[in-house]
């Protein structure tokens, strides 16, 4: 499914998600967990007690009582083939971002791998770890033109074996800036000054997902320094990641618009694919 024509079920999602992004920006402006950037999907690791407790999880694919979405249990992937099909259906291709986008080179991640922040604070692809059934990332961009720089974006979908596995993913994401203050994304790309905040379902403006972690920082490439946005959102056993690397001529409001749209689109695709009641 290319999914460029997506019907948004929750009419309140776009503005509430945008409001959540704006609120996160305010919170992050007043705190400093430090760090550098993210690629598409971080490695699972042991969650902090506070992060795990902030987002209660069920031991299976079923949603917890406090959730905005209940999938059809028969449609929740339990095998790698079904998980791969779901990830492929949900992840955004260029037109899912907007008419001005095109695929980067390479356009997609290597099948059967996930992005991992290694011991040297560098992002790399590794085989799927235990608890992850499938992961797919796609890399798109708006080419430089009319005085604006090249805007790069990433969309990633990771399907986990259980809700707890997905929940631990969010907890690990929240903690990674504390471990690595400077992170190498690619040979010529780094993220610095990273800060993160978690917004579980029911807190702030989050009425659209079981949990969300927002990270903001500075994107460094060549001699330029631009804004960086990275959002990881959980709905049941599925985690969605969206990153935007700022470029010359793009405002913070525009970056937030792209991330909000991408999150809404993929969240709706997850609901459509899993056929639950919201």
Tell me the per-residue pLDDT of 140-170, one tens digit each, with 9 for 90 and over: 999 999 999 999 999 999 999 999 999 998 9
Which residue's entry shows tokens 């807190």?
203
> Among 8-12, 81-85, 244-248, which is the least confidently predicted range?
8-12
Q: Is the pLDDT of residue 27 over 80?
A: no
The pLDDT score that the predictor gives to residue 182 is 85
CB 231 within 8 A of CB 212: yes
Q: How far apart are the first and last CA of the chain?
A: 22
Q: How far apart are CA 183 and CA 194, in angstroms?
A: 9
Q: How far apart are CA 219 and CA 193, in angstroms?
A: 9
What backbone torsions phi and psi does residue 101 show, to the nearest 5 degrees? -90, 155
pLDDT range class, residue 278, cuts 50, 70, 90: low
> Among 50-54, 131-135, 182-186, 222-226, which is the least confidently predicted range?
50-54
Residue that wins the pLDDT comparison between 60 and 262: 262
The pLDDT score that the predictor gives to residue 85 is 98
Residue that wins the pLDDT comparison between 10 and 255: 255
Q: What share of the chain has pLDDT > 90, as a percent?
A: 66
Tell me the per-residue pLDDT of 80-91, one tens digit each, with 9 for 90 and over: 999 999 999 999
Closest Cα partner for 162 from 71, 92, 89?
A: 71
Mean pLDDT, the chain, rounded, equals 81
Angle at 67 between CA 22 and CA 275, to 5 degrees: 105
Closest Cα partner for 123 from 209, 243, 234?
A: 243
- Residue 178, token pair as written in the block: 């504390």
Q: Is the pLDDT of residue 43 over 80?
A: no
Q: How far apart are CA 153 and CA 97, in angstroms?
A: 9
Closest Cα partner for 232 from 219, 251, 249, 216?
A: 216
pLDDT range class, residue 178, cuts 50, 70, 90: confident
Kindly report the pTM of this predicted structure: 0.79
Q: Residue 199 to residues 21, 26, 28, 91, 183: CA-CA distances in angstroms?
A: 10, 13, 12, 22, 23
Q: How far apart are CA 55 and CA 4, in angstroms?
A: 31
Average pLDDT for residues 53-77, to the nearest whole number? 67
Q: Is the pLDDT of residue 23 over 90?
A: no
The pLDDT score that the predictor gives to residue 223 is 83
Residue that wins the pLDDT comparison between 14 and 109: 109
The pLDDT score that the predictor gives to residue 147 is 95
């Amino acid at each position: 499914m290319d999914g460029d024509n997506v019907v948004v079920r929750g009419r309140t999602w776009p503005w509430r998600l945008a409001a959540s992004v704006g609120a996160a920006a305010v919170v992050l402006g007043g705190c400093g967990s430090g760090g550098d950037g993210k690629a598409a999907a971080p490695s699972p690791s042991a969650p902090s007690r506070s992060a795990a407790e902030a987002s209660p999880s069920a031991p299976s694919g079923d949603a917890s009582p406090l959730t905005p979405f209940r999938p059809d249990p028969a449609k929740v992937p339990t095998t790698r083939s079904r998980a791969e099909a779901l990830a492929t259906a949900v992840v955004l291709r260029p037109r899912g971002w907007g008419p001005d986008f095109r695929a980067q080179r390479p356009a997609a991640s290597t099948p059967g791998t996930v992005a991992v922040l290694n011991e040297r604070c560098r992002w790399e692809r590794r085989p799927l770890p235990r608890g992850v059934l499938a992961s797919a990332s796609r890399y798109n961009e708006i080419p430089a033109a009319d005085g604006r720089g090249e805007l790069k974006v990433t969309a990633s979908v990771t399907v986990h074996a259980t809700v707890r596995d997905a929940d631990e993913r969010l907890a690990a994401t929240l903690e990674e800036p504390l471990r690595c203050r400077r992170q190498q994304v690619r040979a010529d790309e780094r993220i610095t000054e990273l800060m993160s905040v978690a917004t579980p379902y029911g807190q702030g403006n989050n009425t659209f997902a079981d949990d969300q972690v927002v990270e903001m920082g500075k994107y460094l490439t060549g001699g330029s320094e631009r804004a960086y946005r990275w959002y990881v959102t959980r709905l049941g056993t599925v985690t969605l990641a969206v990153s935007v690397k700022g470029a010359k001529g793009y405002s913070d409001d525009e970056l937030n618009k792209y991330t909000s749209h991408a999150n809404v689109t993929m969240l709706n695709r997850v609901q459509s694919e899993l056929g639950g009641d919201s």
